[in-house]
Each structure stands twice: as C-alpha cells, then as structure tokens.
Chain A
C-alpha cells in the first residue's frame, strides 16, 4: 500500500482530478459574464455605382461596411472570438439558406471594437439562380472560444436587405 507505484498513481489521479475541477470552474465563470455586443452593417449603395454586381455565373459581389463592438464578450477565460457575417434568405426549394460572406478572428479585447470595409470574402452564390431581387438578412454571428471549457455562440440578425433585379 505504500509502494512507489501506488503513491505515484494516487498523486497522478489527484492531480488530474484537481485539474478537471479547475477547468470546470473556469468554464462556469464565463456564465457570469453578461455581454452586450452591438453591430451595424451597411451594404454600399447605390447599385448604379457598381457596388453590387452579379457576374455571369449568378454570383454577387458586394462591399460591406461592418461596425461592431464585441468587447463585452471577452472574459479572462477567452482565447479568441470568431466572428462572421452570413446572408440568410429563403427560396422556393429551400426553407433556409445561409451563406457566409466574411469572417475574422479577434484575438484580444482591444481588437473587438472595429470598423471594416470589405468585399465579400466568400462567394455569394445560390444553389439555383434565385438571388435576383432577393430579400435577405445579414446576420452577425460570434463564437467565443474559451481557453478551457464551454464555447458560447450567438448572433445578431439585421433584416431588410435586397439584391437588385438586374445584373450587369
């Protein structure tokens, strides 16, 4: 009962149990954070200036002004926040379509209040050719990745965008 093997085993088990406990406590502490993130997204209009274009393959290129303040999402247990903007719309065939247009990794609280003007990073293209004149929402999603423990995700839906009927 007092051999080296038994003592080593006891120490290791105890150590790992304590580690697991600390990890759980760190993760639970994230629940006490009540974040108040905010964001605004503008799609640059007017379309005459060519800011929204359909290409021949029915793909949309647009430029967005994205402002956001996500600083309140960060806790001491936050490793990074992954943020992305997705266009959401409905088609006759599909109840829900979500197409990711832009994403970024925010490594620290200082970088979480930002303004970015960007073309869409990923192709805005539908499974059919349903995008002409389509109404859509832009949703800002964020995933808070902890240093240890549970990951939190939420989103902010901004409705009221529409694509032009004609393409050039």
Chain B
C-alpha cells in the first residue's frame, strides 16, 4: 500500500496521490484510506466530498506502476485546444480518402 493511487471523488478528473494512512478491518476486506499529494502541505480531506474523511475501495480506480514521460501531453493538448483534435482526425481522414490501395 502507500503507492500513488488514482482516486475518483464525484468529480471528473482522477487524481494520482499517495496513501498516507491505512486502516484495514479485521475479518472483512474493508479498508479506509487517507491520501495526500506529495507536493501539498496538507492531506486531501479538502478535496474529498463534504464531510468525507476517508476513501474506501470503490473510490480508488487504480495504482500507479510506472512513468511514461510527456505521453500525457497528447491528451492534455487535445482537451485544452480541441482544434488540434479536429486537425488530427481531418488529416487521418484525408489520408484514408487519398490512399490508392
């Protein structure tokens, strides 16, 4: 545990933060977890829903296992400047249409 985990908390964007507290129940598989961004001063309770103090398993989407630098920029650019998305799709479409095979 304690790795970077992606969480969803009722908002759109998953966040990759680190687990700093774990409380795992005897007998059952239930677990309560507190997270914090490495570069943040305080824990994530400000980011959780109103009144929520802990994350449960169903809030956790996955775990970070590695790094591919700069790959995320493709998604970010396409989200922030949608015109690039259209240009890309347009160019691909053009390629398909003009192929002689």
Point out residues on A near B: beta carbons under 8 Å.
1, 3, 5-6, 9, 23, 27, 79, 82, 84, 86, 92-100, 103, 105, 122, 127, 141, 143, 145-151, 153
Contacts and interface: CB of A to CB of B under 8 A. Distances in A.
A103 B2 CA distance: 11
A132 B94 CA distance: 71
B99 to A, nearest CB: 8
B10 interface: no
Interface in B8-56: 18-27, 32, 38, 43
A50 to B, nearest CB: 25
B69 A148 contact: yes
Interface of B: 1-4, 18-27, 32, 38, 43, 64-69, 91, 94-95, 98-101
Contacts of A95: 24-27
Contacts of B20: 84, 99-100, 103, 122
Contact of A147 (B23, B69, B94): B69
- Among B3, B4, B23, chain A packs the most CB atoms within 10 A around the CB of B23
B23 to A, nearest CB: 5
A93 B38 contact: no
Given A5-B95, A82-B38, A98 B21 contact: yes
A92 B27 CA distance: 11
27 contacts: A1-B101, A23-B68, A27-B66, A82-B38, A84-B2, A84-B20, A94-B23, A94-B26, A95-B25, A97-B22, A97-B23, A98-B21, A98-B22, A99-B22, A100-B2, A103-B38, A105-B38, A127-B32, A143-B4, A147-B67, A147-B69, A148-B67, A148-B68, A148-B69, A149-B66, A150-B66, A151-B3
